[in-house]
Amino acid sequence: MERAVTLILLGLSLTTAAAVHAQPTVYAQPVVQERPSTYAPRIHRLRFDIPAVDVRENLELGFWPSMQQSLAIAKDSYYLVHAGILSIPYPRAVPKALVYFSDGLLIFGADVLIMFLPAAEGWMHEEWHRSVMSQYGISSYNGIYDLKLFDDLINVSRVKDEDLIRLKRDHPADQVRMSAAGIEGDYSLGVAFDKDRFFFGTRPATTFSEWLTVLNAILYMNDAAFDSNGTTEKENEKEGSNVAIRDFTGLDPDGWVYDLFRPDEPYEARGSHPSGVGIDRYRSESDFTRRERHYLQTQARLSWLNLANPQLIGFYSFDLGSADGLPLSFNASLQHVMAPFGYSLALNLFGKAGPYNAFAELRAYVSESLVLPGLSVELLRYPLRWADATLSPRVRLWLQPKDQRLVAGSAAPGGALEVRLNVPLFRDFEFYVEGQAKSVGWVPGTVFLEQSLNLRTGLEAFVF
């Protein structure tokens, strides 16, 4: 199975490297001059988000990076690595087919490698776990920094049992979200790639990167749901009595479903670690009731919905003709993601009319007995009349299970307002400031489940 997946991904990397040569019409600001046709560079309109300060998380709570910062850094890392590969200056005598093949092979190798290096997807996955802990002053360590290349599992370690006891007791919904946050980040990175491709014409051959990210998350879900006992036993044996090197949860989906169904069970009720030292943190199939095991297996099957995305097979947009002289295009994708109250299903909608860009999410928030609606609408880089500035407002409205509980019998309304202002600085660089105000509720990519106000700043750049 793993060998077949590797061959499929290699084939995708070769074909998507060729796709970067199909440059789309781009209407979003700022306008970048087209380069003449050449073998170097072979990329178009990379959109870099260079985060500076996340006020509440960096300054008030004192941890770095925030979820949005690590997401931006990971996306930028792929763009930088791919930009280097796609800028290799081949002589014009080299056949284009050979250039495409070389690009794809190098991107395949680079993406597999950087998954295990700081600042890429694997690092971001662990940082999203750490963000949930860090908001409560729980210290941890991202095992990516140990540079253990091609390890099956990377630990978020140096977490004290006492801190996990406190988190489960005082913030049971965050205990559930903590285990789910890494895969939540993986899918959020995929959507970020999709938005850049569709709205801004970004062509850095990241289709393979997205396949690798999304498929890895799906296979992780399925391994945890159908074959976790052996892996968990092996990890416990390998780590022995050394509490400091243990992961905070073991296999993420197993930790998620266990605490989802047992929000009021004290953390220490898990019993002693097999070594006799510390608490037995890791959960696996043998720890679940029949109902819990069935629920996790259902979620693993639903996770395959994340492949329902035309962009993964090279269909970046669909033309709808024109209206009032503006060309119309759209795209759509499905998303399944674990949540503190159960899970969420989303239909992502991408729409463009000339220079005007809109992104929407139709969400269902699903607990044990409730299926509740949510809607998010965003305008991206709406042009303002002064100084070539742009505004990106986003409104979210939802009904979510009360107290973020799986067994909630009633719904709680909520919403969020986000606004991002971009102001040009020099050449292709812009300064941005982004504010968010939200009520109680779960928002993918926002670490706080309670009410929050936040402000982020940074630089945005379009290059090539």
Between CA 331 and CA 345 the distance in angstroms is 17
Q: Encode pLDDT of 210-242 as tens digits.
A: 999 999 999 999 999 999 999 999 999 999 999
Closest CA to 108 of 13, 210, 211: 13
Between CA 72 and CA 50 the distance in angstroms is 7
Are 225 and 296 in contact, with CB atoms under 8 Å apart? yes
Q: Encode pLDDT of 279-314 as tens digits.
A: 999 999 999 999 999 999 999 999 999 999 999 999
Beta-bridged to residue 382, according to DSSP, are: 391
Q: How far is CA 218 from CA 123, 183, 244, 315, in A?
A: 18, 9, 29, 21
Residue 342 CB contacts under 8 Å (≥ 6 apart), including other chains: 260, 365, 366, 367, 368, 401, 406
Residue 306 CB contacts under 8 Å (≥ 6 apart), including other chains: 187, 190, 214, 217, 218, 334, 335, 336
Q: Encode pLDDT of 378-425 as tens digits.
A: 999 999 988 789 999 999 999 999 999 999 999 999 999 999 999 999
- Residue 423 has phi, psi (to 5 degrees) of -125, 125
3-state secondary structure string, the chain?
Answer: CHHHHHHHHHHHHHHHHHHCCCCCCCCCCCCCCCCCCCCCCCCECEEEEEEEEEHHHHHHCCCCCCHHHHHHHHHHHHHHHHHHHHCCCCCCCCCHHHHHHHHHHHHHHHHHHHCCCCCCHHHHHHHHHHHHHHCCCCCCEEHHHHCCCCCCCCCEECCCHHHHHHHHHHCHHHHHHHHHHHHHHHHHHHHHHHHHHHHHCCECCCHHHHHHHHHHHHHHHHHHHHCCHHHHHHHHHHHCCCHHHCCCCCCHHHHHHHHHHCCCCCHHHHCECCCCCCECCCCCHHHCCHHHHHHHHHHHHHHHHHHCCHHHHCCCCEEEEEECCEEEEEEEEEEEEEECCEEEEEEEEEEEECCEEEEEEEEEEECCCCEEEEEEEEEECEECCCCCCEEEEEEEEEEEEHHHCCCCCCEEEEEEEEEEEEEEEECCEEEEEEEEEECCCCCCCCCCCCCEEEEEEEEEEEEC
Q: How confident is the model at residue 38 (pLDDT cuts 50, 70, 90)?
A: low
Are 88 and 40 in contact, with CB atoms under 8 Å apart? yes
| 293 exposure class (CB count in 10 Å sphere: 0-12, 13-18, 19+) | middle
Average pLDDT over residues 75-95: 92
Between CA 63 and CA 164 the distance in angstroms is 18
Q: How confident is the model at residue 39 (pLDDT cuts 50, 70, 90)?
A: low
Other CB atoms within 10 A of residue 15 CB: 16
Between CA 296 and CA 261 the distance in angstroms is 11
b/e per residue 328-353 (b: at least 16 CB within 10 A)? bbebbbebbbbbbbbbbbbebbbbbb
Q: How far is CA 281 from CA 217, 270, 358, in A?
A: 21, 7, 43
| 402 exposure class (CB count in 10 Å sphere: 0-12, 13-18, 19+) | middle
Q: For the chain, which residues make up each domain, given as ranges?
A: 2-463
At position 157, the amino acid (one-letter code) is S
Are 16 and 104 in contact, with CB atoms under 8 Å apart? yes
Q: How confident is the model at residue 12 (pLDDT cuts 50, 70, 90)?
A: low
Q: How confident is the model at residue 325 (pLDDT cuts 50, 70, 90)?
A: confident
Question: What is the structure's pLDDT at 26?
Answer: 40
Between CA 36 and CA 379 the distance in angstroms is 32
* Averaged pLDDT of the chain: 91
Q: Encode pLDDT of 95-123 as tens digits.
A: 989 998 999 999 999 999 999 999 999 99
Q: Encode pLDDT of 337-367 as tens digits.
A: 999 999 999 999 999 998 899 999 999 999 9
* 403 HSE (CA, 13 A, CB side): 12
